[in-house]
Structure 1
Amino acid sequence: MEYDFSKLNDREFETLAASIIEKEVRKKVEIFKSGKDGGVDGRFWIGVEKEGIIQCKHFLETPYPKLISKLKNEESDKVKKLNPGRYIFVTSKKLSRINKQEIKKIFHPYIHNEQDIWGMEDLNAFLSKKENQDIVERNYKLWITSTSVLDFLYNNAIKGRSQSTIMEIKEKTHKYVITANHSKGLKILEENNVVILTGEPGIGKTTLADNLAVHHMAKGYEFCDIEENISEAENLFRENEKKKILFYCDDFLGSNMYDAINNKKDSHIIKFINRIRKDKSKKFILTSRTNILNKAYSLSHIFQNLKIRDNEFLLKIENLSSIDKARILYNHIYHSNLPEKFIDIIYQEKRYKEIIKHRNFNPRIIEFITDSSLIGNLEPENYWSYISRSLNKPEIIWADYFQNQTDDCVRALTYLTVFNNGKISEDNLRNSYNLFLNIHTVNLGDYSDKSFEAVRKLATRSLLNRNQIEENKYEYVLFNPSIADFVLSTYSNEIHLICNIVKSLDSEVSIDYLHASLISNKINNSNSGRILENLFDYFFELKLEGQDWNFLIALCYLDFFNEKINKRIELFLNTLINADHPSGNRLWELLMILSEFEPQIKFKNFKFLYNFIDEVYDEDTLKKLFAFVDQYNIEDEDILMQIDVLLKQYLKGIVDSNDFDIDYSKHLTYYQHPDGYSDHDVDINGIENEISESLDSYMDGFNVNVLDRIYFHTSSVVAGIDIDGKIIRYLENYEPDYDRDSHDYYVGRSGEDDIDAIFERS
């Protein structure tokens, strides 16, 4: 039997080799995380002292002379240094008898005989034995691309379209990475016989569906791609009641959703799904864009009554760990056919981490940026810009989905959530949605229910997530952060729309989000003046009458250089400073605006500041307050006392933070007690002095005149710090240095984290 080792990347090949050798030598083989291996891909013990070492070279397409050159010039010295009791060499290349003799000579005397040299023929022969099929099945990609399984797949596919689908699936298997989603999908399918894979575009619904299908086909299921032709599937069901059949439907309902429901085909579909639920010899895998399934569910009482969603498995990018993402990226790069110079760009300065950690990480984008056929005439030096642009421009994924597959009402809920900084309570979203429908022209489209309850069900689990925060209370967040980027980039010039969204939200959060979007140019900054004038006309009198000082400060701060609204800003400031006990938490913005309008503002006193400096902990705001107090020579004792308390709280917070680094070890003296146990002395004064010196550096930039006025000294902060508690916590986490075993350099302690290890180049 032939196995296609080309579908494995180098890491996967090493895992396979370790499994084979473990079974061959009947000893446990240790495998280590990916990375620089010092010539070791696996290790087993011969007795208690001697090591057996496994080295793998997945050089399938590498010319034999190049392999020999690498072994002579690099690997042989590593083996001498390791001095193993036995050395086993495994390669995916075909090897002749003469080739093996040459390799044995290179590694003399560590390779005992040629049986410890494994080439492609040896691997195929071993894996073809019935007793070793467990190894094949554990190595998923090897299993599903074996000649026996592929023949089985083709022969078990219903003729025509199903065979074509199998061919397409086979071509993509080499890029597949098994994650927790694979196991969960298999579990749902095993328990329910039906699974509906849903999620955002590009999340990997079809890829997972393909591989769940292949898994069951290899287990004896015939494959039927029905493309929603339920009649065809029902006929096949009736004719083969005893046969194991897997039905497959990618993009369930899709563009035919309304036709399916209006013509009562929903009953037909549900009856078929329920038949499969009750028959263990049949399986049904479906994929659906979440918004389509939501819409169908809202329109079809049959879908609701028969609980079609009990079979749903929602795929989310949060389900993927950083290691999953790293393996997905690495696998795509490995099989990409990208020129080496382009791959170097991804490795430069460990840029692969930027891709993995990017909030728009998505398997479809990864496939897009590593597809050598899409690069065209791009020069290597422009490749990173191409990658960044692809990650930062979510239009690639969201354009068709958002604009063509949803209606204005679903889009409205999305707009509102985006401009509330991606999170909003259910009550606020409901109120904002109803207001938005009243003040903004909305195309209601069909005659379906447009109430908040109806529309939020359509948006939930496609563009939004609904999370319970406490009993009977919910909040909505964006299904994926890239939705916000798409909305901003697409509608940044729609001033009327943006203003109506913010008016409907009526929240400081939305004003802040708008401001941040203008500053970052996600919304065209040249529009800020017109947006501010529009919002001022709508909000100003209402908020001034209600003395909503925080909202007005946020609104003014959007653009307080706007001449058309200067008079109203002056009115607001004069009203604020003369109000009885005004309060708020936007001191930084207030001081900035006051400084700009200072000539027009007449301060009688500064008591209005009392309730604005009640909770100020960030450095920039404190420094701005110090400068303001000095500029106006404020002598109010209550204000000065507040400043003193806030400064101490701020500095104590710094000392308690993880960023404050004190070297406790140099203040500890260890000694051996006469009774035999170890003990230590602590130089408390030394620690206090080091903390004081460090705090003094944090005081740079604070106005010294104000510091003198409040009689401040860092010793007053140090006196309130629990030094003893810090020493105890330090000792609890203290690990003294010790000598490493001479072999530790290759057992995964490279100093690199697991992601770096995956991308480590040999």
Structure 2
Amino acid sequence: MEVLNDKEFEELAKDLLDAKLGTDLEIFKVGKDGGIDLRNSKNTENKYIVQVKHYVGSKFSNLISSLQEEKKKLQAILPKPKHYIVFTSLPLSPAETSNIKLLLEPFITSTDHIYGRKRVENLLSKNKDVERKYFKLWLTSTNVLKTVLHNAVFNNSEFYTEKIIQRVKHYVYTQNIDAAMKKLAENKFLIISGEPGVGKTTLAYMLVYQLLGDGFKLIYSDRSIKDAEQLLSNNPQEKQVVLIDDVLGSNLLELYQPVNTESKIVGFIEKFSLSKNKYLIFTSRTTLLNQANHQYEGLRRSGASVVSNYELKISDYTLFEKAKILYNHLYHGEISEIYAESFYSNRNYLKIIKHKNYYPRLIEFITTEQKFKISGYLNVENFIFDSLTNPDEIWRFAFENQLSRPEQLLLETVFSFGDGSFNIDFIEEAFENRYQYEIEKGNTQRELNGFHNALKKLLDGFLKMEINPKSTEKLIQFINPSLADFLIKYIEKNQNEKYNIWASAVYIEQLKSTFAVLFSVDISIPSRRVKKYFSTFYDNMDTLDTIEENSSVAFKTIDFLFEFFKSVFPTNTSIVNRLLCRLIAERGKLDAWRLSSLLIDINLESIEEPINIVKDNWDEFFALIMDNIRYSGDFERLQELFREYDKDFGHYLEESNLRYDFHHTVTNLFEVQISEHDFYSEVDPADFDYYDDSTVERKLTEKIDQMYSDYISYANLDDYWDLLEPDYNINVSDIIYEYKSNLSADDYVYDGKEYLERSKESSKEDVEEKIHRLFRR
């Protein structure tokens, strides 16, 4: 009951009592109710009058005091009610129920007309359609919540009871969830896109909660598709939903490597189109989705980002839905009566709802009293409307006036790592380097235990810390994405802050996330300062590290260099030479497709010394690429590299005696792809009625042989077929056995239909009248 606000509880009372009494109760409009919340006077005037009291977590004495006031109002009602009902969320003992009856005599003649929490819950259990209508109530019911938690990610902090209840409390069931669920049911895949703060992640969680409550298992990732892909089951009977929040923010680099992305992102999406009980949900900022569609032909050609895109716009929210979002935040928020009064006085709530900058994230911001306390404002109304008019100014005031220099530096350090959450050890090391840099430049003085004191101050108000369920490592991220939005604008305008981030970076990822052209259209470097930035990069290059274990720092550095400073290569070849030599020596993990592309670019730029290094170390570069091939398209790019350097690929394989290593790499990659293939879509259950297992096995074997042939063609390796005769190790018998083990007579298909038939608001009241009633106190 605690997830409902008082007006929602009143509506619940109406629906349950309508079902119980076989009547149609009327909810009173705005104005003094005279002791009436619900009434039925259809045939007999004041046949039923209902007083609704939502008293979750309150005391019985408070309820009694309130009812004493209501009794005074009852004296004035004419004609006297035939039946007077008290409906409350407060648990009532038999003695307390009797006390209420005595208090309200002669209006209440029987304790049957007193509904405490247990009786309300009993009515709900007998009216499942009513419970399902109240999504928040259904979701947080004991059995459903247990199912949600059981099917979610173990130890993922986003799926603890408290977080789910807190999130659901503030949620308003809007038309968006019906439309989004319909599109998900139709396509098995959904991209929820929208501007920052519009409610993309909240909508995604509500869809996921519904699916979890209906028995789906969740695969959740906020970092990579690969992590989610490893957990996806090939069993068509296993119900799974995959959620990757801000997918393009986390995987944008891959969008600029078309072969990789086609195999990874588009290939991952395509897995769901044929799966019966598998659903995929992405969220993405609109700007990133548009950027990806423009730059990435594979994603655009697939049509997935258009057909399955649900663009969440603030204009999609009705005025009344906006009102309910604001009301929920006021009702369930931990704010004082004095603070709340500023939203009610002069009907400010209506001005807020109609404001051109209304966004759910901003509503969360202005209804958090703590944000007002650190804002520097003395007047709550000024804080509210200035926040709506120019939300960046609120963060700006707190950043510039409320935070110490170490605290500012820590926020900028977290920002430099980009989207997502990051290991506290990486953050601390990067912070300490920035802190020391500022001290040496005379910009600040060292404070004792600077990092931990700054972190302690920033936690909850600016940052949040969570535990990675897989490794128990502590992860740091912004408490609200709007803070990152502010810092983008703040740092872009502040050239000193921008340069100091660049000059003090410890990890190459800090430079990529903050400055790389492919990632950011907001943080730019003025052309007149490019030489200064390059000189600093050159000086710091050998000290840069990476946050990815076993990855090649040299590769990431040269990749960033080609992206950011390509124009300076003809006159600064020494930096490329050094990195190429380091690349060979490190032998770390890297992107094979991208390395081939970099070596091609070096030749196209006609940079003599680096070209000679590549040629002189051809075997080493070839081996490095072969060690890191992960996608069939990598082979095609490798052949382009050979052609660019006027080398015969087939002849090289023969002469260098690498044909066996090459064959092994090609075969292994095919086996990996086959292991991820959904063979259930290749088998018809009816086959087992007409054929024995050996016949089905032969059909599957022929299918796999054809897939290998297609794989070779896709990788553009047909000319080397004599080197690549099929030698893969795939046990078709095991595939058939697993299929038959999971085969079910009841081939369940979830289509989401039950969510598409939601009851619509039947009230014809004027919208503003409904809003005023909602905020009536």
TM-score (structure 2 length as normaliser): 0.51
> In 1, distance between residues paired with 2:386 and 2:369?
16
Alignment partners' CA distance in 2, 1:185 and 1:278: 20
Among 93, 97, 100, which residue is 1:100 paired with? 97
Matched, 1:30 2:17: no
TM-fit CA distance, 1:185: 1.1
> Which residue matches 2:315?
318
Residue 53 of structure 2 corresponds to: 57
Other-structure match for 1:361: 358
Note if 1:139 corresponds to 2:154: no
Equivalent residue, structure 1, for 2:658: none
Q: CA–CA distance in 1 between the matches of 2:490 and 2:298?
A: 22
Shift of 1:248: 0.6
After superposition, give the CA deviation of every residue in 1:121-148 in whole Å (9 maximum; x if it has no partner): 211233234xx22111111111111111
Which residue of 2 is the match for residue 256 of structure 1? 251
In the alignment, which residue of structure 2 is the partner of 1:303? 299
1:349 aligns with 2:367: no
Amino acid at match of 1:757: H
Q: How does 1:580-595 map to 2 (within 5 A)?
A: none
1:129-183 deviation per Cα after TM superposition (whole angstroms, max 9, x unaligned): 4xx2211111111111111111101111243438747764443110001111121
Structure of greater Rg: 1
Q: Tell me how many residue pairs correspond in the alignment.
A: 426
Q: Residue 749 and residue 105 in structure 1: after superposition, are their counterparts in 2 closer, same or farther (change >3 A)?
A: farther
Separation in 1, partners of 2:65, 2:20: 28
CA shift in 2, pair 1:34/1:195, >3 Å: farther
Q: 1:212 aligns with which of 207, 214, 219?
A: 207
Q: Which amino acid aligns with 1:286?
A: F
Query: 1:442 Cα deviation (Å)?
Result: 7.8
- 1:141 aligned counterpart, secondary structure: helix
Quote how far apart the aligned CAs of 1:8 are.
0.7
Distance 1:23 1:378, change over 3 A: same
Deviations 1:262-289 (CA, angstroms, capped at 9, x unpaired):
2713431112212212223111111101
CA distance in 2, matches of 1:147, 1:445: 61
Deviations 1:591-648 (A, max 9, x none): xxxxxxxxxxxxxxxxxxxxxxxxxxxxxxxxxxxxxxxxxxxxxxxxxxxxxxxxxx
1:192: how far off? 1.3
Q: What's the secondary structure of 1:81's corresponding residue?
A: coil
Which of residues 171, 177, 193 is equivalent to 2:172? 177
Cα distance change, pair 445–28 in 1 and its aligned pair in 2 (3 A): farther
User: Is residue 277 of structure 1 aligned with residue 303 of structure 2?
Assistant: no
Shift of 1:445: 14
Residue among 182, 188, 211 paired with 1:187: 182
Paired with 2:529 and 2:38, the residues of 1 have a C-alpha distance of 63
How many angstroms apart in 2 are the aligned matches of 1:307 and 1:210? 25
Offset, 1:380 = 9.5
Which of 112, 118, 123 is 1:121 aligned to?
118
Name the SS of the counterpart of 1:206 in structure 2: helix
Are the counterparts in 2 of residues 203 and 363 from structure 1 also a CA contact under 8 Å?
A: yes
Q: Is the 8 A contact 1:326 1:758 kept in 2?
A: no
Distance 2:124 2:771 in 1: 32
Gaps spanning 5+ residues in structure 1: where? 409-439, 447-747
Other structure's SS at 2:247 match: coil
Q: Which residue of 2 aligns with 1:148?
A: 143
Across the aligned residues of Structure 1 and Structure 2, the Cα RMSD in angstroms comes to 3.5
Residue 81, structure 1, aligned to residue 77, structure 2? yes
Q: How does 1:198-597 map to 2 (within 5 A)?
A: 198-262=193-257, 264-309=260-305, 310-376=307-373, 382-395=379-392, 400-401=484-485, 404=488
Pairwise CA distance, 1:389: 2.0
Superposition deviation, residue 26 in structure 1: 2.1
Q: For 1:70 and 1:270, how far apart are their aligned partners in 2?
A: 60
1:394 is displaced (CA, Å) by 3.4
Encode CA deviations 1:447-482: one digit per residue, 9 max, x unaligned: xxxxxxxxxxxxxxxxxxxxxxxxxxxxxxxxxxxx
CA shift in 2, pair 1:196/1:62, >3 Å: same
Gap change, CA 1:401 and 1:373, over 3 Å in 2: closer
Letter aligned with residue 247 of structure 2: F
- Bigger drift between 178-187 and 751-760 goes to 751-760
- Residue 316 (structure 1) shift: 1.1
Alignment-mate amino acid for residue 220 of structure 2? D
SS at match of 2:27: coil
Q: Could you tell me how far 1:44 is from its partner in structure 2?
A: 3.1
What CA distance in whole angstroms lies between the structure 2 residues aligned with 1:759 and 1:379? 31
Gaps of 5+ in 2: 393-479, 493-523, 531-762
Between the aligned partners of 2:529 and 2:318, the Cα distance in structure 1 is 40
The AA in structure 1 aligned to 2:344 is Y
How many Å separate the matches in 2 of 1:371 and 1:302? 43
Q: Distance in 2 between matches of 1:45 and 1:89?
A: 17
Q: Secondary structure at the match of 2:47?
A: strand
The Cα shift of 1:200 comes to 0.6
- Report how far residue 346 of structure 1 moved: 1.5
Task: Indicate yes or no: 2:87 matched with 1:72.
Answer: no
Decide whether the 8 Å contact of 1:198 with 1:313 is kept in 2. yes
Cα 1:46/1:203, change in 2 over 3 Å: closer
Residue 152 of structure 2 is matched in structure 1 by 157
CA separation in 1, counterparts of 2:218 and 2:774? 37
Report the alpha carbon displacement of residue 758 of structure 1 after superposing the two structures with TM: 3.4
Distance 1:88 1:156 in 2: 40
Aligned to 2:769: 754
Residue in structure 2 matched with residue 574 of structure 1 by the alignment? none
Letter in 2 for 1:361: Y
With 160-169 and 319-328 compared, the bigger mean Cα shift is at 160-169
Aligned counterpart, 1:495: none
- Do the aligned residues in 1 keep the contact of 2:55 with 2:90 (CA within 8 Å)? yes
> In the aligned structure 2, how far is the partner of 1:444 from the partner of 1:314?
39
Between the aligned partners of 2:130 and 2:528, the Cα distance in structure 1 is 57
* DSSP 3-state at the match of 1:288: strand
Contact 2:236 2:275 in 1 (8 A): no
1:6 counterpart SS class:
coil
Instruction: Check 1:167–1:213 CA distance in 2 against 1; reply closer, same or farther (3 A cut).
Output: farther
Task: Please tell me the residue identity of whatever aligns with 1:143.
Answer: W
The corresponding residue for 2:6 is 10
